[in-house]
Amino acid sequence: MQTSILGLLRHVSLSLSISLFFSVVSLISHRLAYLQALRFYGSYNVTVKDIRVINSPQTHIKFDSCDGVKVRNISILSPPYSPNTDGIHLQNTQDAEICDSYIENGDDCVSVQTGSSNLAIHDITCDGGHGISVGGLGRGQTQACVSNITVQDVVIRNSQNGVRIKTWQGGFGSVRSVTYKNIFVVNISNPIIIDQFYCDGTKCKNQSSAVQVSGINYHNIRGTYSKSSPLHFACSDTVPCTSISLAQVVLLPQHGYYVDDPFCWNIYGNSETPTIPPLHCLQHGTPPSKGIKQSSIDDSC
């Protein structure tokens, strides 16, 4: 039985202007444990606006295999430690805009998964949870393709992560052309992170192939961090992160925490302006071709 609300719309513009309340307390049957408040599948030209979604047991709003999506002026509210309560989840979705919204939840504020491209995320506030994530990608040695993502004019506060790209070892494909601009972070454990060794706590063996991460731009990222490294770049041994660009990145420790150094592993790019803290571990230019797993880099997406 499919408990999600499915958007099976073709070339139809849908506008929702009601308040939706999903209270975990009111869900008596355990069969509803995987309920998603709203799910749109195979939909075109969808507009979701002026709604409030509260305490969805799992993902609040999900777009799967959609084209032409606009999300505007919505509120999502769930407890900060509620598991798997992604705010907005996009997979295999193209040409989407998410703006003018407030998301307070226990998992990814916005989650971008494989097959997604041409996404604009701007003028939103994320509170609690895991920040804005691309991935995890490539799980189970699968192909992942994500490109042309812009995240701009966003506030992220009291979150585990700020802006994050995460991939599993053993996958293939690419994440390309992602821009983070004008991001203000407050009390974030990991403000900027690329993790090509992502593992959700299960045993994850070392594998040589990886989803290629390239053309990632960080511009005007400012704010405070706590507990961990403010810049964390853990890239694959055989498929390094390339063309990583930073400018006007200023990250300071939250009151009561100490300054921590950035972490880099096999990352190549440039700093257009000095970063705070200094990113001395960034390798400039391009990686040597020797030892790079070319088949992973050249996977067609």
Domains observed in the chain: 15-107 (no CATH), 114-289 (2.160.20.10)
Q: How far apart are CA 22 and CA 32, in angstroms?
A: 11
Structure confidence at residue 10 (pLDDT): 41
pLDDT digits (tens, 9 = 90+) for 62-84: 999 999 999 999 999 999 889 99
Question: DSSP of 65-110, one letter per residue?
Answer: S-EEEEEES-EEE--TT-TT--SEEEES-EEEEEEEEEEE-SS-SE
Residue labelled with tokens 């009111």 = 26
Task: Quote the pTM value.
Answer: 0.88
Structure confidence at residue 100 (pLDDT): 98
Which segments in the chain show pLDDT lower than 50?
1-33, 294-296
Q: How far apart are CA 164 and CA 132, in angstroms?
A: 6
Structure confidence at residue 290 (pLDDT): 61
Which H helix or E strand runs over 297? Answer: helix 294-297
Active site residues: 107, 130
Q: Phi/psi class of residue 118: alpha, beta or left (left: φ > 0; alpha: ψ in -120 to 50)?
A: left
pLDDT digits (tens, 9 = 90+) for 19-55: 344 433 333 334 444 578 899 999 999 999 999 999 9
